[in-house]
Amino acid sequence: MNKSDSLTENNNNSHSFLSRPRLSFKRFVFYFITLAVLILIYIKFAELQLIGSIFAKSNLYWLSFIIILAVASHYFQALNYKKVLEIKDQNIKITELFPMAFIVQFINHALPSAGLSGQVFFIQFLKKYGMSVSQGLSRALLEIMTLYMAFGTFFIASSVMIFYTDILGSHPELKFFIYAFVLVATVAVSIFLMLQKESRGKISRWVVGKLHKYFEEKKKDKGDDVTDHSMHISAIIDEFKSTFSYKSLEKHPKPFWLAYFWHNMVFLANVFMLYFIAFAIGNPIGFKVAFIVFTLVKFISMVAFVPGALGVFEGGMTLILISFGVPAQPAFAMTLLLRAFTFWFPMPIGWILYKWHFHNMEIENPYDDLVKDHQR
């Protein structure tokens, strides 16, 4: 082969290599989430147009307060992140965590996961501060714990308001919300108490065995090599136990209770947003009604595995407001405006910040790293 033939072959190989662009996993995730958001916008385009017309007719004085509260709620969420990280002996500036409040909310709204999808991104983000995947997972678990504790506080307060007024007499259907909450709370407390055991119990071993057998049969059906997934499951269970143990929580009582406090402030900011929205559209409601309505709708949204609780939020809040005597048209307008300030308006901010962080970090598979941390 002469020199010119060799150069031609090298050029062809180079052209062949360049003509096959590779789509990295992190780029795929970004495009997938963006596509999910575009689909949501397409589905809800009529709703966005209606929000625009309602917004234009609303009182700008009250809307300015609502905008401040919307920003404040994200700042309170960032303070929650900061205090949870202090429990894990990490001190990260609030300026770094404030954008994360928008990004995590954006991803949680774009992907159906009951609020868990954004945590995967956050775990990867924390790697640049030297936190392992297992530490990031325990941080996410603590944040979720303070979230449900704060919501439990709001639901109990709402229940007290319902029982000590004539609301329950005129709305007996509210008892079903209370029964459902008691059931969920009982399960959550039972799991927390089970995790206090030093050794892994029979139920944990049974779950690990069943899941490993399931994955083993799936692999055999496909003719693939069988992987022992029990290590992954064991690592996750052990992380749950170490994170929620009394001994671990007692080491950092102040940041833990402050994290819980800031989650309460997030909810309270949303209650005031609903309260002020009622004034903005010219149909004021009592603060007690705003508190109860928000809490009940939040409960429905938290247990709904639907992207952004689409349909669930709108239908639930409108019906509950109507049941409290708000006319149908103002009730729907209040629902859409609250939806706008808590869902639609923060979404482009979250997307822009997510895109920026997407170009400054690697999205890896945390699955194997979790086992490596567990084996150390």
pLDDT digit string (tens) for the chain, length 376 residues: 554 555 444 554 444 444 444 445 555 565 566 666 566 655 565 666 677 777 777 888 899 999 999 999 999 999 999 999 998 888 899 999 999 999 888 887 776 555 567 778 888 888 888 887 777 888 888 888 899 899 999 999 998 888 877 777 777 777 777 888 888 888 877 777 776 666 555 555 666 566 666 666 665 665 555 555 555 556 666 666 666 677 777 787 899 999 999 999 999 999 999 999 999 988 999 999 999 999 988 888 776 655 545 567 777 888 889 888 889 888 888 888 888 888 888 888 888 888 777 655 544 444 445 545 545 5
pTM listed for this prediction: 0.73
262 burial type by CB count under 10 A (0-12 exposed, 13-18 middle, 19+ buried): buried
pLDDT of residue 31: 54
Residue 34 falls within a domain, yes or no? no
pLDDT of residue 14: 44
Residue 109 falls within a domain, yes or no? yes
Residue 348 falls within a domain, yes or no? yes
Residue 263 falls within a domain, yes or no? yes
CA distance 291 to 72: 18
Residue 30 falls within a domain, yes or no? no
Residue 350 falls within a domain, yes or no? yes
Residue 238 falls within a domain, yes or no? no
What domain range includes position 69?
Answer: 47-173+248-375
Number of domains in the chain: 1
Instruction: Single out the residue of 79, 70, 78, 101 nearest to residue 273, CA to CA.
Output: 70
CB atoms within 10 A of CB 252: 18
CB distance 98 to 77 below 8 Å: no
Residue 301 falls within a domain, yes or no? yes
